[in-house]
Structure 1
Amino acid sequence: MTTVAVRERQQEQEQGEAGAPGEAPRSGRRARLSVPGRLSVPARLRWAVAGCAVLALLLGGLLAGTATGAQGAWARITGHEAPQVTDAGALYQSLTDLDAQAANQLMFGSDPRLASNLATAQQIYLKDRTDADRDLQQATLDASGNAPAQTALAAILDGMGRYQDLAARALELDTRANAPAGRPDPAALAEYRQATDLMRGQLLPAAHSLVGANDQAFEQSYTDEHGALGSAALWLTLLGGGLLAALVALQLWLALRFRRVVNPALAAASLLTVVLLSTAGSFLGGEQQDLVTARKDAYDSVVALTQARATVSDSNAAESRYVLDAGRRDQYQSDFETDTDQVLSLNGAELGAYDAALAQAVSAVRADPSAIRFGGEYGREFHNITFAGEGAAALKTLLAFQAYQVDDRKIRAMVAAGQLEQAIAYCTSLAPGGSNADFNAHDAALQALIGINEKAYESASTTGTHRADSALWLQLGCVAGVLVLIGAGAAPRLREYR
């Protein structure tokens, strides 16, 4: 037993034996325990150690809960919510292209010069129908527990079979009638009108709602987890700072009471706490940044561009319907304008003024990437350029979209001039400069741009998942080490009082 401990025990025994006035002296051990309002040195040391241990355990619980929460969030995002958005977007894309290919088949008719175009349209139509059925099945599996998604799916399921029946009858009637290109059989056209009205009035709005419902679920997970990480950072500061302050205070008290310059174990516990706070802070900051990268920087663009791709496909279908159906040309031109405005809006510019306004906007953004004078889905993307190569890919997509828009005006001019056969040939031409060639070039550029953002999303989500997995055991190991060191630092001092 040290000299300090002997002296303190003697003082406590003397106080206990003296007792209160008029009372008989008591034994040192019993008297020391009965002195009111005063804790012995060992008791104070035990309480201090217990306080530090409680803070360490609370900190460990916080970090364990945060790491497991991050693991769960990434599992939901990567395993369910992001794939659900992708599946819904794929369904939307299949539906828009399905109707476009149905219109193309009716537009080609029995013209032998367009036989290869007709065969291509038939193959794509069958593929789109297969893809739509598959995507619909997958979306149905994904929708469990998501009421808005289930409502949207019910509308799609209700209308999908009817659409396919109507489109099939239209194509069969037109084939039987041996109708020429651009002049479909009236009965076939009547059936197709019902089919395309069903597509645009029920199926596509429901598919758009499905994308939105799934995207909202993803956004909610992002918001919840980002907020949880922010709260954890605040509690980390409070608990970690409290633990570090308690350890330092305990060391100072021991140094003064026991005349020791430093307690090696408690000093090591303090150092390990600093390391723990540093690694935990880095973990929380890294997880927040990965979430922002995955959701805001990458997947917001994926959603916008996927919507744009489906909408451009629908505008291409509206263009084909415009050539095909003379009785509804005003309606189908209006549909094309609506789709175009959703993809890239220019302050409400109508079709006649759109090309000039688009040319000015393109020139401005080429001269200064921050001079974004358009809205719509492409406006969202250009305001969210983040990754290497994304700016160049976005500009390439914009230029391809501009070329496709110019082609559309040529088609409408041919139709207005009564050159129906030339309009059909140019509308479906895959030769360089042809409308379909430019449409495909735009689609390829758009898919490449989507791919850049999908790759960034996958990288951020993979990094975030791995960090959460490794952080859990690293941080718990540090907390366990702090607890062991606290005990090791206090044990020798407590033994001196035995």
Structure 2
Amino acid sequence: MTTSQVTSRRAADPAEAETRSAPPAAPREPHRAGRRVRLRLTGPRRLGARAAVALLLLAALCTTAVVGAVTVRADTSRLRTTVSERAAVAAQLRSALADLDAQHADTLAPGMSADGSGTYVGNQLQALITAQQRRAQVSDALRRLSGDSAHGALVRALLDGLGRYDDLSGRAAFVDEQAPDRLAGHPPAVTVAMNAQAGAVMTQTLLPDADALAADYQRQAGLDASRVRADTRHRIAAVGLLGAATLLFLLWWQRELARDYRRLLSPPLVAGTAAVLAVCLAGVVALGSCASAADTADGQGLRPWSRLAEASAVAAQAAAAESRWFVQGDDLGRSDAALYATLTGRLDTLLAPDGQATAAERPAYEDVLTRYRRFRADDAALRRLKGEGRTDQAAVLLTTVGRGDIAFDFWDFATTLDALAARQLDDFAAHAADARDALDGWPAVPAGALGASALLSLLAVRPRLAEYR
């Protein structure tokens, strides 16, 4: 091969020559699934991101504290309204209805003495006056409850039943007035029959409806008390946890600022952190005080009052059963005698302190029990006199107002019982007010303090951002 041929061949294959002279290519790195590109924030962006996180935490903490305070205060107000404007009125309605029936029966007990002396035996006037008072109390209670649309049907049913009761008891009184010379304890048979019908309307319609209404309100009061306790504890946990998270972030941010910018402390951020700490501590203490007061209101006010209010209604029903038994005689009054025994058995349980009364309240419970025993002793004497045929003395014992007479001793017992129930209701109202007062200044306090903390956080960032201009 000549030199020219070699030269031409090399010129014909330049690509091959270039390939032979180039180094081998490096192998391609295989693709890794899931590999992420990490973006590093520059100084200004890093400051802005941390400020944004701080503002979000402060906003969340502020919202939690404000909403919690508003919710708990609303729950406390609802509890007070349910008890004082609903449950208490319904309890008064029950007692007034039962005592109204007792007074109507008592008006039929007095009459002329059986000895022929023409002496009027018993005190009808006191029973008439008391019956008018109880009827006015019933009307007032129904008027106050009529504004509750949730129980409107039950209130209307009570009004209808009350109309029938008024008609029957009024007709019984009218017929009795047509026999002015009848003997004590022996009203006309038509009067007795109408009184029995009125008593049936009371025991089978009015009192069951009133019991259902009172029980519903007391059940609602119990639910409201439970809601106050639950909401308060939930808000304490939320404020505590979110506040701790906010404090930790602000402390960490303070450390990062000191490390990045060679500053010992940021005074605005220190002040903002102190404001957050103050709100958290004040919120936990205030909500804890509210929860404690709500527990006390329920345990030392609402529950004992509910028990005593029921005892007051049962006592009035027992007195009504006793009076109807005396007027209607052994035949018609047999069911009333059995009802009296049942009701006094319930009273024996309801009037016992049963561990709910404090040491300071036990003397008041003992006083009520003492007066209750006097009423029971009077009832035993009444039944003994009637069993012996001494109707005149029995009518005097039932209707005369004096120590040792049923009309007085029952009034004494019932008044003392109502006073003790009112005392428990006042205790409830005072503790419920304490629960609401524990949050005085809220939600203005957390809103103002945390708003200031947010502003201070922005002030802490401003001088650092100025360094990049």
3-state SS of 2:178 partner: helix
Q: CA deviation at 1:413?
A: 1.6
Identity between Structure 1 and Structure 2 (%): 25
| CA–CA separation in structure 2 for the residues paired with 1:429 and 1:120 | 8
Higher helix share: 1
| CA–CA separation in structure 2 for the residues paired with 1:389 and 1:170 | 47
Matched, 1:67 2:69: yes
Query: 2:362: which partner in 1?
Result: 391
Matched, 1:472 2:443: yes
Q: CA deviation at 1:170?
A: 0.6
Query: 1:3: which partner in 2?
Result: none
Q: Is the 8 A contact 2:76 2:228 kept in 1?
A: no
Query: 1:240: which partner in 2?
Result: 243
C-alpha distance after superposition, 1:459-485 (max 9, x if no partner): 122233333342211121221122122
Matched, 1:206 2:241: no
C-alpha distance after superposition, 1:292-348 (max 9, x if no partner): 23333212222221221121011111111222222233211111112112222xxxx
Q: Is the 8 A contact 2:109 2:122 kept in 1?
A: no
Query: 1:455: which partner in 2?
Result: 426
Q: Is the 8 A contact 1:82 1:218 kept in 2?
A: no
C-alpha distance after superposition, 1:259-305 (max 9, x if no partner): 22222222222222221111101111122122223333212222221
**Alignment size in residue pairs:** 427
C-alpha distance after superposition, 1:193-233 (max 9, x if no partner): 10001100110010010111222222232222322222111
3-state SS of 1:188 partner: helix
Query: 1:261: which partner in 2?
Result: 264
TM-score by length of 1: 0.81
Query: Equivalent of 2:313, from 304, 310, 315?
Result: 310
Note the 1:32-431 alignment, pairs <5 A: 37-109=39-111, 117-141=123-147, 143-144=148-149, 146=150, 149-178=151-180, 179-326=182-329, 327-344=331-348, 375=349, 377-379=350-352, 382-386=354-358, 389-431=360-402
In structure 1, give the amino acid aligned to 2:62.
G
Q: CA deviation at 1:36?
A: 5.8
3-state SS of 1:449 partner: helix
| CA–CA separation in structure 1 for the residues paired with 2:168 and 2:39 | 91
Q: Is the 8 A contact 1:91 1:132 kept in 2?
A: yes
Query: 1:349: which partner in 2?
Result: none
Q: Is the 8 A contact 2:54 2:246 kept in 1?
A: yes
Q: CA deviation at 1:64?
A: 0.9
| CA–CA separation in structure 2 for the residues paired with 1:105 and 1:113 | 17
| CA–CA separation in structure 2 for the residues paired with 1:414 and 1:378 | 28
Q: CA deviation at 1:400?
A: 1.6
Q: Is the 8 A contact 2:232 2:291 kept in 1?
A: yes
Q: CA deviation at 1:237?
A: 1.9
Ranges of 4+ aligned residues in structure 1 off by more than 6 Å: none
| CA–CA separation in structure 2 for the residues paired with 1:37 and 1:45 | 15
CA RMSD of aligned residues (A): 2.1
Q: CA deviation at 1:234?
A: 1.5
3-state SS of 1:471 partner: coil
TM-score by length of 2: 0.86
Q: CA deviation at 1:57?
A: 0.8
Structure 1 runs not aligned, ≥5 long = 1-34, 345-374
Segment drifting more, 262-271 vs 83-92: 262-271
| CA–CA separation in structure 1 for the residues paired with 2:429 and 2:112 | 47
Segment drifting more, 214-223 vs 185-194: 214-223
Q: CA deviation at 1:190?
A: 0.6
| CA–CA separation in structure 2 for the residues paired with 1:320 and 1:79 | 36
Structure 2 runs not aligned, ≥5 long = 1-36
In structure 2, give the amino acid aligned to 1:140.
S
Q: CA deviation at 1:437?
A: 2.5
In structure 2, give the amino acid aligned to 1:416.
G
| CA–CA separation in structure 2 for the residues paired with 1:114 and 1:305 | 38
Q: CA deviation at 1:115?
A: 6.7
| CA–CA separation in structure 2 for the residues paired with 1:52 and 1:126 | 69
* Higher radius of gyration, 1 or 2: 2
Q: Is the 8 A contact 2:110 2:122 kept in 1?
A: no
Q: CA deviation at 1:60?
A: 0.7
Q: Is the 8 A contact 1:167 1:192 kept in 2?
A: yes
Classify 1:124/1:437 alpha carbon distance in 2 versus 1 (closer, same or farther; 3 Å).
closer
C-alpha distance after superposition, 1:425-453 (max 9, x if no partner): 22234322332332122122212212221
| CA–CA separation in structure 2 for the residues paired with 1:82 and 1:114 | 44
In structure 1, give the amino acid aligned to 2:351.
Y
Higher relative contact order (CA 8 A, sep 6+): 2
| CA–CA separation in structure 2 for the residues paired with 1:448 and 1:239 | 47
